[in-house]
């Protein structure tokens, strides 16, 4: 890698002689893409930014003369209005935050686990398993949602299965009760102190914030984990195949156990892929839309309302275009913030002094771990 960078830098400054016309040609060749991306990506985004700070009501062009600038009013309405718009937004953030918190780690762990399983040379019928695990990912999420609605209906397969064990399954997609509240109820706690139920951010009480996802949302979470694990498994398999076997063998020679080899040799090398998977997972989870649109439309009791669906509903159904775009941009900021945070968490760190000391004797014989660290 370093070589290519320096090589490129050498000849970049001056354009003269035979290569003079290349700049114009370059622009000409990229112009179609720039225009198309600009038209279908940049312009709509800029328009949406304008709509989010305007009082456009959905008729005619948002740039016409009778559309006024209202500053951050739309943002204020959904974040501090004190009305229904604020509470809806609060509920959607609550629902989606729990969704992200539970789905992202689980789907990452499961997809890594599956990838390690099907990557083993010993396994017979690897192709079959890979296809099977990947299959949900290539199926349309609308089709899977409908399948899920059947599986998780009151008298559906899941509840029949639970019935074999004497468990009376919940009315999944119609159950608005929050799972941690239900857990508390089993030990006899059904209410909460006044301090928790009276106030909270975004018009949603603290008790509702900490209650966890509703049973209905939980069913959607299972679906998300089921469908996306296959996709991410594929990314992990690709990464695992780039992990050289010789490092693992070196680990075996050093007497590392299977778990240690995975934790200290394989996993560090998967870091870039891990970052990709986590980022894609975060973005996907914060943008849950089609499952909600086809499945529950935000119900029961608004516990599957998500910011993406709320944005659509505010604009297209309630004709509150400004608020709808404002929600979309707040969602955008949330995703950016999470991605930056996660990039910071997964950054390359120098080996700590304490850890480095373990490897110091003898002075210049590198351990597998150091090799992986210095290689980058």
Partner 1 sequence: MTRHKSRAMFGAGALAVAGVLVLSGCGGSGFDDSEGSTTEGLTSSEDGLTILIAASGDAEATAVEDTVAAWSEESGVEATVEVASDLNQQLAQGFAAGSPPDLFYLSSDAIAGYADNGSLTAYGDELSNKDDFYPALVENFTYDDEFYCAPKDFSTLGLVINTDLWEAAGLTDADVPTTWDELSDVSETLTTDGQVGLAFGAEYQRVGAFMAQAGGALVDGDTVVADSPENVEALEYVKENLDAGTFAYAADIGAGWGGEAFGQGLAAMVIEGNWIGGAMTADYPDVNYQVAELPAGPSGEGTLQYTNCWGMAADSPNQQASLELVEYLTAADQQLAFSEAFGPMPSVQSAADAWTEANPEDAAFLAGADYAQFLPTQAGTADVVADFNAQLESLATGDPAAILQSVQSNLEASVG
Binding to partner 1 (CB under 8 A) within 186-225 occurs at none
Minimum separation from the CB atom of position 234 to partner 1 (A): 32
Q: Which is nearer to partner 1, 320 or 373 (CB)?
A: 320
CB of 155 to partner 1, least distance (A): 5
Q: Out of 137, 171, 279, 294, name the contact with partner 1 by CB under 8 A.
A: 171
Binding residue for partner 1, selected from 70, 116, 158, 176, defined by CB under 8 A: 176
How far is the C-alpha of 49 from the C-alpha of 316, rounded, in Å?
A: 17
Residues 219/157, Cβ–Cβ less than 8 Å: no
Using rule CB under 8 A, residue 46 touches partner 1: no
Among 7, 15, 23, 35, binds partner 1 (CB under 8 A): 35
Give the nearer residue to partner 1 in terms of CB position, either 88 or 306.
88
- Decide if residue 43 touches partner 1 (CB under 8 A): yes
Q: Which token pair is 280?
A: 């894609």
| CA pseudo-torsion sign 302, 205, 182, 109 | positive
What burial letters (b/e) apply to 186-199, b meaning 16+ CB within 10 Å? Answer: eeeeeebeeeeeee
Q: What angle do CA 282, 287, 290 make, to 5 degrees?
A: 130
Q: How far is the CB of 98 from partner 1 (least distance, A)?
A: 17
Span interacting with partner 1, options 310-318, 326-334, 348-356, 367-375, rule CB under 8 A = 310-318
Which of 111, 98, 125, 109 is CA-nearest to residue 227? 111
Please give the full DSSP string across 155-197, using - where no structure is assigned.
TSHHHHHHHHTT-----GGG---BHHHHHHHHTT-----HHHH
d(CA 267, CA 112): 10
Q: Which stretch binds partner 1 (CB under 8 A): 51-59, 341-349, 354-362, 363-371?
A: 51-59
Binding site for partner 1 (CB under 8 A): 28-29, 31-32, 35-36, 39, 43, 57-66, 83-85, 87-88, 153-155, 171, 174, 176, 299-302, 315-319
């Amino acid at each position: 890698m370093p070589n290519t960078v320096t090589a490129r830098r050498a000849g970049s400054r001056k354009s003269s002689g035979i290569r003079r016309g290349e700049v114009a040609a370059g622009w000409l060749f990229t112009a179609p893409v720039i225009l198309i991306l600009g038209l279908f990506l940049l312009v709509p985004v800029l328009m949406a930014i304008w709509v989010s700070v305007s009082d456009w009501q959905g008729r005619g062009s948002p740039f016409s003369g009778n559309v006024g600038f209202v500053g951050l009013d739309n943002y204020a309405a959904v974040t501090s209005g004190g009305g229904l718009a604020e509470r809806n937004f609060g509920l959607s953030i609550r629902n989606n935050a729990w969704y992200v918190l539970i789905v992202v780690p689980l789907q990452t762990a499961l997809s890594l686990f599956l990838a390690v399983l099907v990557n083993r040379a010993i396994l017979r019928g690897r192709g079959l398993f890979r296809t099977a695990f990947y299959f949900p990912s290539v199926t349309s999420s609308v089709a899977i949602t409908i399948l899920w609605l059947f599986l998780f209906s009151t008298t559906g397969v899941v509840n029949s299965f639970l019935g074999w064990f004497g468990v009376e399954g919940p009315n999944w997609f119609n159950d608005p009760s929050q799972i941690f509240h239900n857990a508390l109820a089993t030990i006899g706690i059904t209410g909460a102190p006044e301090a928790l139920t009276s106030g909270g951010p975004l018009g949603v009480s603290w008790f509702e914030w900490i209650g966890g996802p509703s049973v209905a949302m939980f069913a959607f979470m299972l679906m998300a984990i089921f469908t996306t694990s296959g996709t991410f498994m594929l990314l992990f398999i690709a990464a695992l195949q780039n992990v050289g076997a010789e490092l693992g063998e070196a680990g075996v020679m050093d007497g590392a156990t299977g778990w240690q080899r995975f934790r200290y040799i394989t996993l560090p090398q998967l870091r870039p892929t891990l970052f990709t998977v986590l980022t894609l997972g975060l973005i996907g989870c914060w943008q849950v839309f089609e499952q909600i649109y086809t499945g529950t439309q935000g119900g029961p009791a608004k516990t599957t309302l998500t910011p993406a669906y709320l944005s659509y509903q505010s604009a297209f159904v309630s004709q509150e275009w400004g608020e709808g775009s404002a929600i979309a941009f707040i969602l955008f900021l949330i995703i950016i913030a999470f991605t930056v945070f996660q990039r910071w968490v997964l950054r390359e760190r120098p080996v700590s002094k304490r850890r480095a000391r373990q490897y110091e004797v003898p002075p210049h014989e590198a351990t597998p771990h150091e090799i992986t660290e210095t290689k980058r």
